[in-house]
Amino acid sequence: MSTTRILFSASEEYFTAAERQIREEFPNATVERLGPDLGGVAGEDLTLGRLAAVAAKRPFFFVQYLSEEIRRIRPADADLDKVADAAAEIAAERARTSDPLAVHSWVSGTSPFDYGSGQLQKRIGTALEDLGHRIVRSGADQIVTAAISRRGVSLGFTTSGDCVTEWPGGRVRLARPKEQISRAEFKLEELLRETGDLLPSSGRAMDLGASPGGWTRILRERGLEVWAVDPAALDSRLTDDQRVHHERTTAGRFLESTATRFDLAVSDMRMDPVLAARVMLDATARLGDGALAVVTLKLGTRRPLETVRNAVDVLSRRYEMLLARQLQHNRHEITYVGRLRERNRPAGTSRRRRADDQWR
């Protein structure tokens, strides 16, 4: 039986946690570190589809990208044209010419070559166009991948359903808008790009720990009426918005006093992850049926996997997990998205699958 090799990327600081989760699920697999945030896993009983399915279901909190590695070109042989020709051979074997094709190229660490990911992506794209493929930046179901590391260039192939995210190596590139209030906005913006229409675009939202108001701004831009909860001031650009209600108090006092029913609760507060999870449990008393919760779980580098699991266990008492993953703009944290469980159904009770089950 042939051995399948799979590339995965994870934050450099949490690479060990990502590796540990993979080994827990596939104890017979071999894991190697190719670069600071790039790894390879191989095993006779392992396929990309199987690993991707497990990563989505468990989920793998720290894995940010997946692709099958079909060919690894050593540094001595990684001439730009030779790499592009090898990528074209992979596309000729795997890709359907009737469908658009994306090229994902990225560097783990520092490129040992006189070219970078942009040059490689462009050269591979040209080679694929010569074969008759229509190349797009995003939205393609089939993807040729090229990861540069000190080990050489790892070429592979993946699909939109298996790769975790449509960004090369999981590295989301977002432009900073002139109206941005804080860099924390990137986390929510990335989540919205990842989950599409999962979050509501109308109704009422509570933003716990809102100051200075970055997440509130994005939620308002999306169409929600927002209760921004924080004793500290909001950015002056939000104060004249009649659909922003600044509650200058703590999250706990607000949840005890408000009678408003919400469709969404978000929290990016700096606190212990289990405590943050318990706050979101308190928030369920003010959420309507089927409401969503988004919370960032702040981590250290000591026992991060246990820390996340403990917080997720608390959240699972009242929420169905739709997503829990370290996004590119999460530095020392995991973003969790959950849907409020039906109030008369305890955790673990089966039910009919919903369309949003893809985010589990």
Q: Tell me which residues are annotated as active site.
A: 298
Cβ count near 32 (within 10 Å):
12
Retrieve residue 118's tokens. 């942009």
Place of tokens 């009983």: 45
Read off the amino acid at residue 201. Answer: S
Q: By C-alpha distance, which of 117, 265, 252, 297 is closest to 199?
A: 265
Question: What is the spatial distance between Cα 124 and Cα 198, in angstroms, rounded to a whole number?
Answer: 34
Q: By C-alpha distance, which of 274, 352, 261, 357 is closest to 311?
A: 274
| Exposure of 12 in the CB half-sphere (CA atoms within 13 A) | 6
Which phi and psi angles does 132 have, rounded to 5°? 100, 10
Question: What is the spatial distance between Cα 66 and Cα 50, in angstroms, rounded to a whole number?
Answer: 11
